[in-house]
Chain A
């Protein structure tokens, strides 16, 4: 037991002569506490010698009444920090409070940052939506066509445009309704017929054979690819898409058979 606790209990004991076995055991080996005990005994003696003020029943009653009128000294029972087991653990309680205070401070800080950042922005910008690649490519092709002034250049651009439409169809044939697919098939047909085939027919008949073959190689490869791929896709496509895919395949086949004789300049 600590000396400070022993000395406090000595002063609070009704009889400093007989403080109890536990304190006596400590006092036996602690000179400073014995000195405190001696002072406590001396204090008791001095208090006993003090003259008592004369008293009466009336004065006593008045004194008690004044105490009662002032109301209870302790109005609210203080809450003790105890664990369910009843053991007193102030250190753990204080740590919990610190954690809660830190969490609250963090929450306030985050809310503050969010609020002030939001308040400064003039208009909340939503994230940029992804752009439709087909539209972007169409704009590019229109621009390329405007910059080209010869049938060979235009034929190449149209072959690329038709491939883009086929690629869009390939991406969507499983999910697109039939009218959207049919629209893509019509655009593909126009790109092939009004683009590739039309420009191929405008080619100079006297173009050197090697140059002509190189020019047709890309267009024919793209048409052959479209013809076989759309036919393959049709085999496992939803029923509504099968007809459209086969139509695209047929469009590509017809264009290919039209172009093949032109390679030779016939």
Chain B
């Protein structure tokens, strides 16, 4: 008996571990996809509902308001993920919040702010909307734990960074 079989087995075991740790290149199985649908069904229905509202909104200010409602819905989902200590889900929802804020809310809000004349009802609405959106993001960021095991999760840190990016893009309200 020599050391060669042991070395061979060790190498095979190490390669097997490495291969099994690789992400799945193909999509999820039907069972996994069904589970995802069940988990997301309510959110998917709500987002389609939001889609129709955004679609019906005819002004940038109205579209920004509907984006804010979509963000609020996602924020609820993110809090649920935090309650369940599901950092992966919080990270996923953080990506979606950032996308809707940066690509949906902010461009419409900027247009509405530019178009609103000081003193007009729209101007006051723009200011209120800015405060509300900034508060919403701040509260959501504060809902992410800063101590305990979950706070050290890399994915939760990434979710926090996404929210911070969205906040930065939104900018601080004038009266802060």
Interface set of A (CB-CB < 8 Å, partner B):
95-96, 98-99, 102-103, 106, 110, 122-123, 125-136, 138-143, 145-147, 149, 154, 158, 161, 168, 171-172, 174-176, 180, 183-184, 187, 190-191, 194-195, 198-199
CB-nearest residue of chain A to B155: A125
Give residues of chain B (84-118) contacting chain A, Cβ–Cβ below 8 Å.
87-89, 91-92, 96, 99-100, 103-105, 107-108
- Across chains A and B, which 10 residue pairs bring their CB atoms closest together, nearest first? A146-B104, A122-B152, A132-B36, A145-B54, A139-B96, A123-B152, A138-B47, A143-B104, A143-B103, A130-B28
Other-chain contact of B44, A99, A126, A135, A195 (Cβ < 8 Å): A135
CB-nearest residue of chain A to B149: A123
Shortest beta-carbon distance from A164 to chain B in Å: 10
Given A99-B3, A142-B70, A147-B107, A154–B37 Cβ distance below 8 Å?
no
- Residues in chain A near residue B104, CB distance under 8 A: 142-143, 146-147
Verify A102–B44 contact, CB threshold 8 A.
Answer: no
Verify B52–A195 contact, CB threshold 8 A.
Answer: yes
19 contacts between A and B (CB under 8 A): A130-B32, A132-B36, A134-B36, A138-B44, A138-B47, A141-B51, A143-B99, A143-B103, A146-B54, A146-B64, A146-B66, A146-B67, A172-B34, A174-B30, A175-B30, A175-B31, A175-B34, A187-B48, A191-B48
Other-chain contact of B153, A96, A125, A142 (Cβ < 8 Å): A125
A154 to B2 CA separation, bound complex (whole angstroms): 71
B interface, by DSSP: helix, strand, loop or mixed?
helix
- Residues in chain B near residue A102, CB distance under 8 A: 3, 6
A63 to B92 CA separation, bound complex (whole angstroms): 92
Verify B30–A171 contact, CB threshold 8 A.
Answer: yes
Verify B23–A128 contact, CB threshold 8 A.
Answer: yes
- Residues in chain A near residue B40, CB distance under 8 A: 132, 134-135
A175 to B41 CA separation, bound complex (whole angstroms): 16
Other-chain contact of A142, B10, B100, B108 (Cβ < 8 Å): B100
Shortest beta-carbon distance from B5 to chain A in Å: 9
A105 to B92 CA separation, bound complex (whole angstroms): 43
Given A99-B2, A125-B155, A158-B55, A132–B37 Cβ distance below 8 Å?
yes
- Residues in chain A near residue B67, CB distance under 8 A: 142, 146
- By CB atoms of chain B within 10 A, which of A127, A136, A146, A176 has the most? A146
A98 to B4 CA separation, bound complex (whole angstroms): 12
Given A99-B3, A129-B88, A139-B99, A146–B105 Cβ distance below 8 Å?
yes
A190 to B54 CA separation, bound complex (whole angstroms): 14
- Residues in chain B near residue A139, CB distance under 8 A: 47, 96, 99-100
Shortest beta-carbon distance from B104 to chain A in Å: 4
A interface, by DSSP: helix, strand, loop or mixed?
helix
- Residues in chain A near residue B60, CB distance under 8 A: 149
Residue B120 CB within 8 A of the other chain: no
- By CB atoms of chain B within 10 A, which of A102, A135, A184 has the most? A135
CB-nearest residue of chain B to A106: B10
- By CB atoms of chain A within 10 A, which of B37, B40, B99, B150 has the most? B37
Residue B119 CB within 8 A of the other chain: no
Additional A-B contacts beyond A130-B27, A183-B45 (17; CB < 8 A): A95-B1, A98-B3, A122-B152, A123-B154, A125-B87, A130-B32, A138-B44, A142-B54, A142-B100, A145-B54, A145-B55, A146-B64, A146-B103, A147-B107, A161-B51, A175-B30, A199-B55
Residue B24 CB within 8 A of the other chain: yes
Given A143-B99, A187-B48, A195–B1 Cβ distance below 8 Å?
no
Given A130-B28, A139-B96, A154–B55 Cβ distance below 8 Å?
yes
Verify B48–A190 contact, CB threshold 8 A.
Answer: yes
A142 to B97 CA separation, bound complex (whole angstroms): 11
- Residues in chain A near residue B2, CB distance under 8 A: 95, 99
Verify B44–A176 contact, CB threshold 8 A.
Answer: no
- Residues in chain B near residue A136, CB distance under 8 A: 96
A146 to B91 CA separation, bound complex (whole angstroms): 23
CB-nearest residue of chain A to B43: A135
Residue B136 CB within 8 A of the other chain: no
